Homo-oligomer: A and B are copies of this chain.
């Protein structure tokens, strides 16, 4: 079958391990590309422009919005985050599935424009495990951790808007589950209209 790329939107509680899962997934399977977002926030130590994010000014970001150069964007803690359109559409055209790691606001914007986008929500097996992981990082103050857990509570309201919920208990299993979900999505009749038309035409002679 002629494979067309799918947009995969991945959200999940901060601390669910989304980044790690996506890194492992794209390392293991070469049909996936991770989209790089643009943001107006300052780079953290170790972050490289064009790798973690495209770091841009507020003026540059607003120009991208105006010119319809972003497929979604959102403001979060006073900073803009958005997904550049060109990268995504080039990959899709080449049969590559593009993974976007974004918040629910952006996820729903994507689903409106790209009806066949697949929305995944990644969650730890329990809230206790989430707290444990956030504390385990050892880099955040108690106040920041509380804030993230409070935000997780807010985010949990939207889970049903997602197409799939994936528990990140063991990393390998979670990566495989995400891969299975995306592989399954490629088998929907909507994504195989050409194949179906072809086989129907071929059967006409009987």
Closest to A154 in B: B203
Q: Is A172's CB within 8 Å of the partner chain B?
A: no
Kindly report how many copies of this chain are found in the complex they form together. Answer: 2
A118→B110 CA distance, assembly (Å) = 26
Tier of interface size on chain A? 35 or more
Q: Say yes or no: A159 contacts B127, CB within 8 Å.
A: no
CB proximity of A2 to chain B, nearest CB, Å: 12
A 96-153 contacts with B by CB, 8 A: 121, 123, 126-128, 146, 149-150, 152-153
Q: Is A199's CB within 8 Å of the partner chain B?
A: yes
Q: Say yes or no: A206 contacts B166, CB within 8 Å.
A: no
Q: Say yes or no: B156 contacts A189, CB within 8 Å.
A: no
| Pairs A–B under 8 Å by Cβ, sample size 21 | A126-B199, A127-B202, A127-B205, A149-B203, A152-B206, A153-B200, A156-B200, A156-B203, A157-B200, A159-B189, A163-B188, A164-B184, A164-B187, A165-B188, A165-B189, A165-B196, A167-B195, A177-B187, A180-B180, A180-B184, A181-B187
Residues on B with C-beta less than 8 A from A203 are 127, 149, 152-153, 156
A128→B204 CA distance, assembly (Å) = 12
Q: Is A80's CB within 8 Å of the partner chain B?
A: no
Q: Is A160's CB within 8 Å of the partner chain B?
A: yes
Q: Is A192's CB within 8 Å of the partner chain B?
A: yes
A 166-195 contacts with B by CB, 8 A: 166-167, 177, 179-181, 183-185, 187-189, 192, 195
CB proximity of A39 to chain B, nearest CB, Å: 26
Q: Say yes or no: A153 contacts B204, CB within 8 Å.
A: yes
Closest to A160 in B: B189
Q: Is A1's CB within 8 Å of the partner chain B?
A: yes
A150→B203 CA distance, assembly (Å) = 8
Residues on B with C-beta less than 8 A from A163 are 188-189
Closest to A123 in B: B199
By Cβ-Cβ distance, the 5 closest A-B pairs, closest first, are: A127-B202, A184-B184, A149-B206, A180-B180, A153-B203
A123→B183 CA distance, assembly (Å) = 17
